Amino acid sequence: MFATIAISVAAIGQNKAAILEQKRAEALKRMETLSEEQFVENFKKYHSQVPTQRPLPPTSTSKAGSSESNTKSELSVPDDMIFPNEADEVQAILMTWLYDSYTVNGDQPAEQLFDGKGIPYSGSSSALVDVYSIPDVSSTSPYARIFAALADGIQHNAEVWINIWNGSDSTLIKNYMTSRSTPLTNYRFFVNPGNSFWYRDCGPVAFYFGDQDSIAFMDFEYYGGRPLDDKLPVFIGEQAGFPVYTNTIEYEGGNILLDGVGSLFTSSAVYSLNMDGYGLYVQDENDPYQYSMESKQPLTKVQVNDSLTHLLNLSRCLVLPSLLYDGGTGHVDLYMDMLDENTFVSTKHPDVMANLSDPKKVEANMDSICKLLSMHGSNYFNTRIPLPAKNNGSWYSSQAEYNNSYTRSFSNHTFVNQSIMQPVFYKGSSGDVAGNQRAIEIMKDRYSGYEMTEIDVRYFDGAGGAIHCITKQIPADNPVRIYHDPIRFWNTTINQTFIPTIEAIIQNKSGIAQATLSYRSVGETAWQTIALDDQTDNLYTCVLPLAGGISRDTIEYFISATSNNGKTMQKPITAPQGFYRCVYGNEVTGLTEEPVYSSLISVEPIANQNISDFYPNPANEKTELQIEGGLKQDVKVRLLSVKGQVLNEVTLKQGSTSYQLDVQNMKAGSYWVIFGQGGNTAARKLVVTK
C-alpha cells in the first residue's frame, strides 16, 4: 500500500513538472510574438530596481520570525578582512538573466516571491499562487540582446557566472547566445530560483582574509519583498566553496563604494533602510496569504555606522546625503566610482543643470570626499565625466523628468580586469551619437588603457540603474596588490633635484620576487625599465628620472610586480596600454582637465573664424594676430614647440578680436600656436629671432 502511495505521489510530481515545462514552452512562443514596444512596456511595469510596493500580509504585524540576530555585536568575522576595490583583478562576474513569471492558472504576468510561488500583477489579492518563470531569450526582445551583450563582453575578460532559475534554462540561454554568433565559451551556470536581476544590490560582497588570502562573502539583507534574491550570496557561496557571513543589516550593493584599503563611501539611504522594523517575506502556512513578514529591530544611525565598520573592517565610513532624483534608490553608483584607492571618477552636470538640487549635492559630496586623505596621506583625486543627454542631445527639463524617464549615467559601469562594460545611449545613427562618442573619448582618457565594451542601455531608461546594477565582481585568487599614489605633476624649479620618489606598497601571500618601474616620455613607443628597491615590509621605492631645463613635458609610467609564486600584475591593471601621466617642468604648477562638455554643444569651426597670421613674423619682442568679427565661443590656445611640447596654455574669451604674444623670453626657433582642441583646431606658425 505504501509503495502504491509513493508511486502516486511521484506520478503527480512528474505530471506537474511536465505541465510546467509545457507552460514554459508555450510562453516562449508567446514572447516571440511581442513587439519591441511591448517588451519595453512590460519592463517598465514589472522590472524596476525598487520592488513593487504591495499591501502587507494580514499577520505581518506579528513575528513569523525574528531577524534581530547577527548585527554588529553578534556576528563574528575575521579581523583581517580586505574588501577589494571594484577595479581590482577579478576571476568572474556574477549576473543573471531577465526572467518573466506567469501564473500557472491563467498565464497572467506575476511576480515570483518564492520558488514556484508568486503574486499576480493584476487583481486586488496579494495571496500566493503557483507561478512559473522563463528567461527572456526572444529574438525580438531588446533586453535579451542587452543581457547577451553583457555576458559576451564579460567572458572575453573573465569567467561569466550566470545564475539561472531552472536547470533547463542553460540550454535556452546557450542556444540564444549561439544564435547571435556569440556562443558562451568562458562561463559557469548556477541554478537557484530568484526574484529579479539587480545583482549588484543583492549579490555577495566579497573579501579576502587570512594568510592565504582566502575568499569569503559578506551577506547583507536585501529588500524584504525579494526573499529569494536575499539568499543569493548563501547559494553562490555554498556552490562556489566560499564561506558566507550573513548579517541583518539591510544594505544594497549599489550604495557600497570601497577604496580597497578600509574606507567606505555610501549614502544616507542606508539609514532609511534600517530605521523601520520590517524584515524579509517568509512563507507562512498559517497566514491567509501563505506568507508573512519577519520583524527586526530598528537601528539608529550610530548603530548602522558601528555595524558597517565592524562588518566591512572599516577605518572610515563616510555617509553622504542621498540624491532625491535617482530612480528612488539613493545609491552612489549612479554618479561616481573609483579607479583605484586614490582616484574618484564622478559625473559633471552641464551648466544648465548646475543649480538644481541633485547636481549641487553631487558637487558638495565630491568636495567632501576630496578634502579627505587617502591611505598615502594625499587628498583623494576626482576626475570628471559628463552626464548622458537625451536622445536628441538636449538636457532634461526638470529633475522629475530625469528621475521618471531616464536616470542615465556613464559611471554605472562594471570593471572586468582590462575592460569596462560601459553603458551607452546610442547605436549606429540612433540617439545622441556625437555626445556619446565624445563621452567615450573622455572616459578612455580618464580610464587609461581600458577597452570600452559599449552596451546600449536606453531600454533601461527610468529603471534606476544599468550595467553596474546587474553585475557583481568575484575577486581573483592569489592577489598581487600594488598600492601607489601616482605623481600627477611635478615642478622642477620648486623641486631642484628633478627626481620625484616613486613609492609602492606591494603584497602577495608568497612574497614579491621583483618589482619594476617602466617609463617613457610622451610620444615615445619604447619603455625604459628600472628596478624598485625593496625597503622591507612591502615598501618599494625608486626615483622617476626627469630631465631638467624643460618648461613643460609629460612622462608616462607604470609599475609591475611578480610574486614568488609566479604571478605578475601591473599598476594600473591595464598597463602597458594604460599608464600614469606625470606632467613636469619649470612652468608646471598644477593639473587641468579638458572641459567635459566642450564639444557637446554647437561650436562653429575654428578655421571659419577668420584668424589672421601673426605680425610681425619673424618676431623678437611682441607679435599679434587679428580675429575678424571676434571669436564665436571661448577657445583654448596652446603654444607648442616643433617637438610638440606644450609651453603655454591660455583661453581666449568669446568676442576676442586679437591675440598678442610676448616672445622676448622665448628661444629663437619655430613654434606652432594651436587654436581649439580635438578635431576642431586652427594652427598658425610663428618664428622667433634674437
What structural domains and CATH numbers belong to the chain?
Answer: 46-98+136-475 (3.75.10.10), 481-585 (2.60.40.10), 606-688 (2.60.40.3080)
Q: Residue 36's CB: how many other CB atoms inside 10 A?
A: 14
At 430 the three-state DSSP class reads strand
Q: What's the rounded Cα separation, in Å, for the pair 144 and 77?
A: 39
Q: From 242, 234, 256, select the one nearest 210 (Cα to Cα).
A: 242
Q: Which residue has the cell 593639473?
A: 591
Regarding beta strands 414-416 and 430-431, do their DSSP bridges make them parallel or antiparallel, or are they unpaired? unpaired
The pLDDT of residue 228 is above 50? yes
Q: What's the rounded Cα separation, in Å, for the pair 583 and 487?
A: 9
Q: Which residue has the cell 562653429?
A: 604
H or E segment to which residue 650 belongs:
strand 646-652
Instruction: Provide CB contacts within 8 A for 349, sequence distance 6+.
Output: 356, 359, 362, 387
Section 600-628 average pLDDT: 80
pTM attached to this predicted model: 0.85
Q: Are 370 and 472 contacting, i.e. CB atoms less than 8 angstroms apart?
A: no
Section 149-157 average pLDDT: 98
Section 569-583 average pLDDT: 97
Alpha-carbon distances, residue 130 vs 30, 37, 178, 222 (angstroms): 19, 28, 32, 24
Q: What's the rounded Cα separation, in Å, for the pair 132 and 436?
A: 39
Q: Residue 145's CB: how many other CB atoms inside 10 A?
A: 19
Q: Are 529 and 544 contacting, i.e. CB atoms less than 8 angstroms apart?
A: no
Q: What is the mean pLDDT of the chain?
A: 90
Please classify residue 99 by burial: count the beta carbons closer than 10 Å to its beta carbon, then call 0-12 exposed, 13-18 middle and 19+ buried. Answer: buried
Q: Give me the pLDDT at residue 13, please.
A: 57
Q: From 391, 260, 408, select the one nearest 347 (Cα to Cα).
A: 408
Q: Give me the pLDDT at residue 676, please.
A: 77
The pLDDT of residue 65 is above 60? no
List, for residues 230-259, the tens digit of each pLDDT value: 999 999 999 999 999 999 999 999 999 999
